[in-house]
A and B are shown apart, each in its own frame.
Chain A
């Protein structure tokens, strides 16, 4: 379902070049739970940006559901992100002034779903992460673990092809971190494809396969 081949990302101009990702190739099948690991500077953030359709590659190809998304325009990337990718960020990234329900329904608004349907689906997603009683709470009325669960509900609500979690427990205490990882594990058991980007081996243990990055190259676990 995800097919990355010879993916390379170079930052900077001709005089100052930084190769962030060098000729990376791997495949992730539907329903897999993969961790992308590596120390800082290993290129895992760059890889996550490319997998998340937040950025385009310098060369190589990235097929997501049989569609090459390595070289698309801004608006085309927006649409891919909206329909096929669910993000869970380390720093949560919820709209601070909006309720949980509104935060979760935001991707649906950009997908053009009507309001009644949006609310219905957002409620369903919040219930599935165990926040049935927090629909109208704003982020400042929620705990860290709850906020990250709202973010997971938001990632789920569009029923994406892949859920991309970037250090999802990085800002959480151990207990709520475990809860969040269990929730992600549950989602994988229900059939969702999950990619977790992390430097923490404890987190990577939840995954069924690990892709190790070092200096922009895949070390173990690729093809």
Chain B
């Protein structure tokens, strides 16, 4: 009868299981390190993917055929002008783009100037983003009105002190869902009349479209912030297919207007939403990788814990190993026996880690309100890694066990 390379899977497995259930407390403690490590990896990876998706969908919600012209030089040889010196774009640039007959691919243009400011209404006050915009801004950014109207060209022409509030600001200054139209607020001590409230768009932090106040660009420049330039110019291409054409037309138009012949010397840059998304994605994936690296270290520590427990187990079972060898177990039989044990340990730890990690990530995404993204690769990875840890850290104890002499084993008390 042929000798199997492996004694008997069922036999090996049930023996391992018996050995592990013998000292349950120790088994649980041994596995804990792996559980924590895998749970941390899963939670962080899920969170990273979730925030990536959140950032992407928030940027996407601003409009998919949106181009943004930013002041400042292109990234030429890694040198870029200071933020404060980016004073190259103006309201006139935006108007010129709007009125140019040569630019055919652009549907709407709005220049913006954006600052944080203290805003007061009655006894309430809040610190929020105040954005000077042009009338087409609502169309470009797909802003819908809950009540009242958005900023009009008339408001710009007359530098009217009117404001459109985001729903979060309404909540902060008045009360949630209150109709603020007609109310009066003060921005940097200047009185403004509320003419409209926008619909909620969602998003948090930097990307919030709800915690914001819109005022006419001209008012923002001349009366509130005292600036002649604008922070950026937003463009909506007529269709998504015309994005590249729009980028070229506007780029060359502005180069000509700014009297620059070499495109490499441009004092502005044009980026699409996709460019911004890929940058943000890069940032979050670097961050995720970093955190996962830290989590991986805890896995390493968990692996050392497994090795420790397996070494103790080998010593405790010296007699059993000696007997098995006396009865005909070869080295590979003993190695497989102990490897099976350590892999059962780490795989079980991996499974528990995946479950806990998922629960933790479900809890965390609720707390920081990003979507929960299921990523099967990270699950398989985590599970695979834990099994590999079992093999790597179980090998030395198993090898040690396999080299025991049967005589010493049988003599051992």
Contact = CB atoms under 8 A, between A and B. Distances in A.
User: Could you say which of B22, B319, B333, B406 has the most chain A C-beta atoms within 10 Å of its C-beta?
Assistant: B406
Contact of A81 (B1, B319, B326, B405): B326
Contact of A95 (B22, B323, B330, B403): B323
B328 interface: yes
A136 interface: no
B10 interface: yes
Contact of B328 (A93, A97, A107, A115): A107
Contacts of A132: none
Of A55, A78, A115, most B-chain CB atoms within 10 Å: A78
A26 to B, nearest CB: 22
B326 A110 contact: no
Interface of A: 49, 52, 54-55, 74-75, 78-79, 81-83, 87, 89, 93, 95, 97, 106-107, 109-113, 115, 154, 158
A2 to B, nearest CB: 18
A112 B410 contact: no
Contacts of A82: 327-328
B183 interface: no
B324 A112 contact: no
Contacts of A97: 18, 22
B244 interface: no
Given A109-B11, A115-B8, A75 B330 contact: yes
Contact of B10 (A89, A115, A154, A158): A115
Residue from A55, A89, A111 having most chain B Cβ neighbours under 10 A: A111
Nearest to A75: B330
B327 A81 contact: yes
A95 B320 contact: yes
Contacts of B53: none
Interface string B315-346: 00001100111111111010000000000000
B2 interface: yes
Contacts of B405: 54-55
A111 B320 contact: no
B89 to A, nearest CB: 80
Contacts of A112: 1-4, 7
B407 interface: yes
B53 to A, nearest CB: 51
20 contacts: A52-B326, A55-B405, A74-B330, A74-B331, A75-B331, A79-B328, A79-B330, A81-B328, A93-B410, A95-B320, A95-B323, A97-B18, A106-B327, A110-B7, A110-B329, A110-B333, A112-B4, A115-B8, A115-B11, A158-B328
Contacts of B323: 93, 95
Given A97-B22, A109-B7, A110-B7, A78 B329 contact: yes
A54 B328 contact: no
A80 to B, nearest CB: 9
Contacts of A79: 328, 330
B331 A83 contact: no
A222 to B, nearest CB: 24
Nearest to B8: A109
